[in-house]
Chains A and B, each alone.
Chain A
Amino acid sequence: MKRNFRPAMTWLHDWSGIITGWLIFAIALSGTLSVFRPEITVWMHPELTRETADPIPAAEAAITWLSTHAPHSPDWYLDVPTPRAPFTLALWSDKNGYVFRPLDPLTGSPDALRDTHGGEFFYRFHFELQLPYPWGRLLAAIAAMALVLTLLTGIVAHRRFFADFFTFRPGKGQRSWLDAHNLLGVIALPFHLMIAFTGAVTLSTLLLPWGAQTLYKSDLTTAQHELHPAAIERPVTGKATPLAPIGPILRTAEQHFGKTGILSFYIENPGDQAAVITVTAGNTDSIGITSHVISFDGTTGTILAEHTEHRPVITTFNVLYGLHVARFAPGITRWLYFLSGLMLTALTGTGLRLWTISRTRNTPRLSTTLVDRLNVGFIAGTPTAFASYFLANRLLPVSLADRATLEIRTVFLTWAALLLFAALRPATKTWPELLSLAAITCAAVALISAPWHRSVDATTALTAFIFAAAFAAAARRAALKKRHPTT
């Protein structure tokens, strides 16, 4: 068989793209939304009317509440309030498993805030896909590697895209889709490659644990200690001892951290003599994550260990990780991540569409027709399903039991229903139908954000409105095409 480099890479691009494309599309879209994880959480709590909170008093209130309501949890994890998220975000465990709730910055209690996972849903879905550990994460890691591969082979396959750098010719069928695909790919290529590779890096300990296993054998404690020298683990003693006041501890940490402030802290064995409080510095002055960590004795408040990351390779790893999660990013950069993420999502969508366009022209095979139909379900259905999460958040009664789970169930029920609908009808019909539905759902999100008093509500409404307009325009185009299939 004659095998030339470029046709072989084109073939690989097409097949790795179509096999992992739907997964990558969903991961890219949820990842794009997670750029605004705290903002979405704030949007999902209309009860939060204050736009700022003082971190240390809020942490004190949270600890007081947790001490009485979750004393038996083996650990408490808390993200302190930031200008982006005016609440303490707490994770603890009770007899039913993990509980994840924002706590009111004044009372420390979650009771006044509705039960929702907020932006955390998109963040978790982005790398866990709502599947049990470790399968979701493994699948996401493989998707990240597949995306790296598809991007690299795509550079070879579409090598002419540098000549077409600024070219988009609409209304020309396959030509237009190819233009859009090339354009979206090339203009944000550094971002795409960076986000795909660093995405794999964030999950690399799961994907390639063999180096650590060989060097540390089964000595996980040493491995953990060498990787995070300031993370102290102490076995529970069983002797009940009250926690030292958290305020002074956090203030000490704040002095050590300087202007980046505190990002989060966690308490192991709260209420026990072996309690440890570990505080992590904020991530606003460097790209890398967790560069400065201090742990305190939980009962006396003295410093047990402090670590500032200077090791070259670990720092590189942290920088790659930080580039992906973009906690460092100031406002404009954050929006650029969001836009570039949308471009990646659209790149995947146009790629999926191109795969079927070239294969459904003559008499398509049954499998190709099904892929063509499901493409509609994924490309138009995923945004609708994600938007339905926003609607469920505002429409489900506040006092409903297990509300957060029901919100998430809404997403998957909507998604499944749309995929089924798309599978059963010809794609030429479902394109305008599902795109219109996406437009209507996004418009509904914009309306339901009313009253647009808080800045997050106004921004969300505006963004949702722009999405609605884009989907409406796409739906109109698809409807015109249905009537005149030649254009």
Chain B
Amino acid sequence: MMILALAGFLAVLLLASASERENATFHSPPLLPRQRHRRRILALAVLATHCALTLHESQNPAFALITWIGQFSVNALLVALLCTAIRQKPARLR
């Protein structure tokens, strides 16, 4: 359970690191468009696998899907806040 939840969070983090705006938060210099594209496909594949595993593990796939979507939302919010925190830190040090 915990491992699966953590994996979901990391998958969303991977997706964020492939996004047009946020990849510069993690990479300096920013990724090339082709690298971002490749990473985004990887992240989406990981997310899809995670979703499939979650459904496979559960007793009731319908419930699990709803839960998975909700978890994705919350993970995305957390990742966005994390990105904000990382981005603001160098600015404050300067």
Report which A residues bind B (CB closer than 8 A).
Answer: 163-170, 183-184, 187-188, 190-191, 285-287, 323, 328-330, 332-333, 336-337, 339-340, 343
C-alpha spacing A170/B60, complex, angstroms: 40
- CB-defined contacts of B16 to chain A, threshold 8 Å: 165-166
Candidates A170, A187, A328; contact of B77 at CB < 8 Å: A187
Are A183 and B80 closer than 8 Å at their CB atoms?
A: yes
Known: A167-B83, A329-B63, A343-B73. 8 other contacts (CB 8 A): A164-B21, A166-B16, A166-B79, A168-B83, A187-B72, A286-B62, A328-B63, A330-B67
C-alpha spacing A164/B8, complex, angstroms: 20
- CB-defined contacts of A323 to chain B, threshold 8 Å: 66
Most A CB contacts (10 A, CB to CB) among B60, B66, B79 go to B66
Cβ proximity bits B26-42 to A, threshold 8 Å, 1 near / 0 not: 00000000000000000
Are A333 and B63 closer than 8 Å at their CB atoms?
A: yes
- CB-defined contacts of B80 to chain A, threshold 8 Å: 165-168, 183, 187
Within 8 A of A (CB), among B50-76: 60, 62-63, 66-67, 69-74, 76
**B49 interface hit (Cβ, 8 Å):** no
**28 A-B pairs with C-beta separation under 8 A:** A163-B19, A163-B21, A165-B80, A166-B19, A166-B76, A167-B19, A167-B80, A167-B83, A170-B84, A170-B88, A184-B77, A187-B72, A188-B73, A190-B69, A191-B69, A191-B73, A287-B62, A329-B63, A329-B66, A333-B67, A336-B67, A336-B71, A336-B73, A337-B70, A339-B70, A339-B73, A340-B70, A340-B74
**B44 interface hit (Cβ, 8 Å):** no
C-alpha spacing A191/B21, complex, angstroms: 24
Report which B residues bind A (CB closer than 8 A).
Answer: 15-16, 19-22, 60, 62-63, 66-67, 69-74, 76-77, 79-81, 83-84, 87-88
- CB-defined contacts of A163 to chain B, threshold 8 Å: 19-21
